[in-house]
Chain A
Amino acid sequence: LRSIARASLGLFIVRSEQAKEDYIAQMIDLYHVDGVVFHDCRTCSTNTNTRYGMPRRLAERTGIPSLILDGDVNDLRCVSDEQARTNVEGFIEQLADAKHATRSVVA
């Protein structure tokens, strides 16, 4: 019972906003992450971490940029392939430009 409780309460999606933020910040650091992609899941707020300013707080805290993709876990009406493609492509451009700028400064 104790382990079920621990497993249930330790799940990422049931943790507080602060715990989630700390966890992502830790992962950014551990894996030297260049950018974070958030999924705004239309019909599941528990699976969505973008609605209370977390992307902004994380960007301020870590300096790592993020992208929010709008979508859903099951309702395709909330998904737009073309917009997702432009969003991802735009984010890659942004990350590539930032890397290029850093390299130029270092060089």
Chain B
Amino acid sequence: MMFAGIDSGSWNTKAVVIDADARVLGTAVTRSGADLSAAAEDSYRTALERAGCVRDDISAVWSTGFGRQCVTFADGSRTELDCHGRGAAHYVAGPLVVIDIGGQDAKVIRLDASGQRLSHRMNRKCAAGTGSFLDEIALRLGIPIERMDALSTGFTEELELSSFCTVFAGTELLTLIRSGKRPADLAMAAYRSLVKRIIALDVLQGRVVATGGVIAHHPTMVKLLEHELRADIVVPPHPQEMGAFGAALAARDGASSVGPLAAEPERGQSVTVIGGITNAR
């Protein structure tokens, strides 16, 4: 028996194929782009190939992530809050605090000793404290994002970005570049700024597990988080695919599928009549 999970994220779509013992057989990470369904198909196909199996071998496939409803072939879905917690709890015994840093959102999930969710906290609408902040900084530094972590390890001067707002930090960075600061120090300052934002999300005490693409590709983030929290942070296997892995576990365990919530009227549909003037918003 094999199961699969698809995590349709804002930046990347991840797919994981597992067996009945939750061993990972194949994974894939593809760009989500503008067509989430196509990205899910693509990612799923690659993960199946790597697992050496075909669609008919899969007993159930569940979706998660912000595009979870666009995964048309999914048998069920759970939120990424559930899946990241579920995945982390599979590797690390609770009680736990899971920090997930994705491309467009960051979240803190608290789990009890049995892996049940106690609470969660997500970032606001603003992209501060997420991977897109690092993308913007890399762009300003004129380096590919993949090189940012290696670059930052050569830092010599402790600089501070006073803002974690992506837009303000970008302009602040320009000032620092103009004053001749080194790119390595600026990259490190960006990581520090991101960490500051993350630790402000919630109280982070006890055993902390970190997941998500930012954690997977920026080991410096883990070191800085450990320094700030004065505690060891556990990075489980395949942190970037943790949501998809959690969705595969949900498929295996037959969790109840909650979504989608009843459709609400679109904003444009609401029409109010004020003093005889039709005010269509």
List 17 contacting pairs A-B, 8 Å CB cutoff, sorted by A.
A55-B119, A65-B118, A78-B124, A78-B125, A80-B124, A82-B66, A83-B122, A83-B125, A87-B122, A93-B78, A93-B82, A94-B116, A94-B119, A94-B120, A97-B255, A98-B116, A101-B116
- The digit string for A84-107, where 1 denotes a CB below 8 A from any CB of B, is 011111111110111011000000
Collect the chain A residues with CB atoms within 8 Å of residue B81's CB.
86-87, 90, 93-94
Collect the chain B residues with CB atoms within 8 Å of residue A98's CB.
116
Known: A82-B66, A86-B81. A96 touches B258 (CB 8 A): yes
Partner of A92 from the list B80, B105, B118, B258 (CB cut-off 8 Å) is B258
Give the Cβ gap from A13 to chain B, nearest Cβ, in Å.
22
The reply to whether the CB of B79 lies closer than 8 angstroms to some CB of chain A is: yes
Residues 37-95 of A contacting B (Cβ, < 8 Å)? 55-56, 59, 65-68, 70, 77-80, 82-83, 85-94
Cβ contact within 8 Å between B256 and A100: yes
Partner of B79 from the list A56, A66, A90 (CB cut-off 8 Å) is A90
Known: A70-B124, A96-B256, A96-B258. A86 touches B117 (CB 8 A): no
Collect the chain A residues with CB atoms within 8 Å of residue B258's CB.
89, 92-93, 96
Collect the chain A residues with CB atoms within 8 Å of residue B125's CB.
70, 77-80, 83
Known: A70-B125, A96-B258, A101-B116. A86 touches B82 (CB 8 A): no
Cβ contact within 8 Å between A88 and B78: no
Partner of B117 from the list A66, A85, A89, A97 (CB cut-off 8 Å) is A97
**Alpha-carbon distance A85/B127, docked complex (angstroms):** 17
Cβ contact within 8 Å between B119 and A59: yes
Partner of B119 from the list A65, A77, A80, A93 (CB cut-off 8 Å) is A65
Cβ contact within 8 Å between B121 and A68: yes
Q: Which residue of A lies closest to B117 (CB)?
A: A94
With A90-B81, A100-B256 given, can you name 4 additional A-B contacts, CB distance below 8 Å?
A59-B119, A70-B124, A89-B260, A97-B116
Collect the chain A residues with CB atoms within 8 Å of residue B120's CB.
67, 87, 90-91, 94
Most central of A65, A78, A97, A98 by chain B CB within 10 Å = A97
**Pair count A-B, CB < 8 A:** 68
- The digit string for B264-277, where 1 denotes a CB below 8 A from any CB of A, is 00000000000000
**Alpha-carbon distance A92/B79, docked complex (angstroms):** 10
Residues 195-239 of B contacting A (Cβ, < 8 Å)? 203
Count B-side interface residues using an 8 Å CB cutoff: 24
**Alpha-carbon distance A82/B259, docked complex (angstroms):** 13
Give the Cβ gap from B270 to chain A, nearest Cβ, in Å.
13
Most central of A56, A68, A86, A88 by chain B CB within 10 Å = A86
Partner of A89 from the list B79, B105, B114, B121 (CB cut-off 8 Å) is B79
Give the Cβ gap from B41 to chain A, nearest Cβ, in Å.
22
Cβ contact within 8 Å between B259 and A89: yes
Most central of A55, A59, A65 by chain B CB within 10 Å = A65
Q: Which residue of A lies closest to B124 (CB)?
A: A70
Per CB-CB distance, the 10 closest pairs between chain A and chain B, nearest first, are: A90-B81, A80-B125, A90-B79, A94-B117, A70-B124, A89-B259, A93-B258, A93-B82, A89-B79, A92-B258
Collect the chain A residues with CB atoms within 8 Å of residue B261's CB.
85, 88-89
Collect the chain A residues with CB atoms within 8 Å of residue B203's CB.
56
Cβ contact within 8 Å between A86 and B256: no
Q: Which residue of A lies closest to B125 (CB)?
A: A80
Q: Which residue of A lies closest to B80 (CB)?
A: A86
Collect the chain A residues with CB atoms within 8 Å of residue B80's CB.
86, 90
